[in-house]
Amino acid sequence: MNWQDFWAMGGYAFYVWMAYGLTLVILVINIVIPVWQRKRFIQQIRNRQKRSN
Amino acid sequence: MRPIKKQRLLLIALMLAGIGGAAAFALKSFNENLMYFFSTTDVVSGKAPGDALIRIGGMVVNGSVERPGDSLLVRFKLTDFNRDVPVEYTGILPDLFREGQGIIAKGRLNGQGTFIAEEVLAKHDENYMPPEVAATLKPDTQNNAQ
Amino acid sequence: MFLVPDSVGRFFHRMASPPHFYAFSGRLMPWLGVIFLLLVGAGLYGGLVLAPPDYQQGDSYRIIYIHVPSAWMSLFIYVMMAAAGVIGLVWRIKLAEIVAISSAPVGAAFTFIALVTGSLWGKPMWGTWWVWDARLTSELILLFLYLGVMALYSAIDDKRVASKAVAILALVGVVNIPVIHYSVEWWNTLHQGPTVTKMDKPSIHISMLVPLLTMAVAFKFYYLIAMLQRARTELLQRERNSQWLKKLLESEG
């Protein structure tokens, strides 16, 4: 298979790769945000527990 | 199920039925406005408003596309397999524009019954296949493409 | 409920308890991730490399492998959200409320992806980024419904009350779902009719259909992962004062 042809997408490279790229970014963000929020929340609770002990 | 839960479920069912009914009525009364385009038969039979900006949809008649001169002017006929409407358009056509293709044109009718388009959009059909497969179906799809 | 075997009933009953749900979903996560990555890898390879170009649209049609599964997910997740909302309303199960609100951002993301990829597909093929036809407009309304659900939930401090409000809003919006699905049949639209869900014959070649369905299943797994991640976070925040959370944090050091 020819990689140059693959990336060119028959002249529609901009539209196709833009669509795939944006989808990737949105899907990754939607996993990262809740995980990051949970980590931060657990840290907050830990800090509060330490202070009260 | 406990009676209180049954009651809540019934309430929800009633609410849904009410909203569904209201939505059905609303959609029915706005039916005309929700149509994105008129068919060519509508235009010929005078159902479409004569001088207003409208959209018409149809298939580009095979062999009807002509480009007089070297400007961007294109003339072609649109059909819904019942009546034809001649269309004139000056501008760049979408990649999918070709004879036998469904398109939608926005514009106005002039006095002679020719549709002067300001914008031409291609409407592709719901079929997806490799070129080799399409080639074997060619005579068929040429006639049936909408 | 008498049609459900006992063991299944017990399973759901256990799952509805917060500590069990938190632990179980945590253990499930790596498996879901592996399955999702395998499916997405296979779907992308099939769609971008193996599948032939379309006879009319060339390679631009390859946007279908994310556009169509995303659009399906936008409807599917909405129905899941509304169903979870009803279960929360009628049976007052806290976990159902959490699943409902955790579905909203994932559904909004898929709706947004469907709209944007559709736009990126429409520009080269139709000749326009956007038209106000029935299909596109009703899908945009779906995005606003999702955003409305999220905004309403965050605007009410008492999360049990917020969940009820959100469930009712989600239920009202359910009427939009059949409208989106049938819009291309009820009205003249620029958007073409259904390809895969059409009853008579599939109008997509098998070499293109297989990667499309693979991507659709992969996106279902993505929904599970993203929704559960949100649900776990939401659960901790709601249960901030509970004993099991205290114990969990202590045991983890």
Residue B66 DSSP symbol: B
What digits encode the pLDDT tens for the residues B86-144?
A: 999 998 888 888 888 889 999 998 888 899 999 999 988 888 888 888 777 655 444 44
CA dihedral sign, ordered B82, B100, C192, B123: negative
Is residue C196 in some structural domain? yes
Instruction: Give the tokens for residue C75.
Output: 């409807």
Write the burial class of residue C132 (CB in 10 Å: 0-12 exposed, 13-18 middle, 19+ buried).
exposed
**Which helix or strand (DSSP H or E) is residue B60 part of?**
strand B54-60
Q: Which residues contact C51 (CB under 8 A, 6 or more apart)?
A: C62, C207, C208, C211
Side chain identity at residue B114, one-letter code? T
The structure's pTM equals 0.90
Please say whether the beta carbons of B106 and B119 come within 8 A.
Answer: yes
Cβ count within 10 A of residue C131: 21
What was the pLDDT predicted at B146?
37
Smallest Cα distance from A48 to chain C, Å: 11
Q: Is the Cβ–Cβ distance between C75 and C143 less than 8 Å?
A: no
Asked if B123 and C126 come within 8 Å (Cβ–Cβ), the reply is yes
pLDDT tens across the length of chain C (253 residues): 456 677 777 777 777 788 999 999 999 999 999 999 999 999 999 999 999 999 889 999 999 999 999 999 999 999 999 999 999 999 889 999 999 999 999 999 999 999 999 999 999 999 899 998 889 999 999 999 999 999 999 999 999 999 999 999 999 999 999 999 999 888 888 898 888 766 566 688 889 999 999 999 999 999 999 999 999 999 999 998 888 888 888 877 5
* Listed residue (C105, C108, C215) closest to A32, CA to CA: C105
Query: Candidates 1.10.10.10, 2.40.50.90, 2.40.50.140, 3.40.50.10310; correct CATH number of B35-144?
Result: 2.40.50.140
Residue from C25, C45, C49, C66 to probe the interface with A (highest A Cβ count within 10 Å):
C66
Helix (H) or strand (E) holding B34: helix B31-34
Assembly ipTM: 0.92
Three-state secondary structure of chain C: CCCCCHHHHHHHHHHCCHHHHHHHHHHHHHHHHHHHHHHHHHHHHHHHHHCCCECCCEHHHHHHHHHHHHHHHHHHHHHHHHHHHHHHHHHCCHHHHHHHHHHHHHHHHHHHHHHHHHHHHHHHHCCCCCCCCHHHHHHHHHHHHHHHHHHHHHHCCCHHHHHHHHHHHHHHHCCHHHHHHHHHHHCCCCCCCCCCCCCCCCCECHHHHHHHHHHHHHHHHHHHHHHHHHHHHHHHHHCCCCHHHHHHHHHCC
pLDDT digits (tens, 9 = 90+) for B16-64: 898 889 888 888 887 777 778 888 888 888 777 777 888 888 999 998 9
* Chain B touching partners, 3 or more CB pairs below 8 A: C
C5 is a domain residue: no
C chain contacts of residue A30, beta-carbon cutoff 8 Å: 105-106, 109, 226
CA nearest A46 in C: which residue? C249
Confidence (pLDDT) at C203: 81
Across the interface, do B133 and C55 touch by the CB < 8 Å criterion? yes
C60 in A contact zone (CB under 8 Å):
yes
CATH number at residue C171: 1.20.120
Summarised one tens digit per residue, pLDDT across range B2-13 is 788 888 889 888
**pLDDT over 90 for what percent of chain B?**
18
Domain residue spans in chain B?
3-31, 35-144
* Residues C21, C22, C23, C29, CA torsion sign: positive
Helices C64-91, C134-155: crossing angle, 10 deg rounding: 40
In degrees, rounded to 5, the angle at the alpha carbon of residue B86 between the alpha carbons of residues B82 and B90 is 140
Containing domain of residue C104, as a range?
A: 27-251
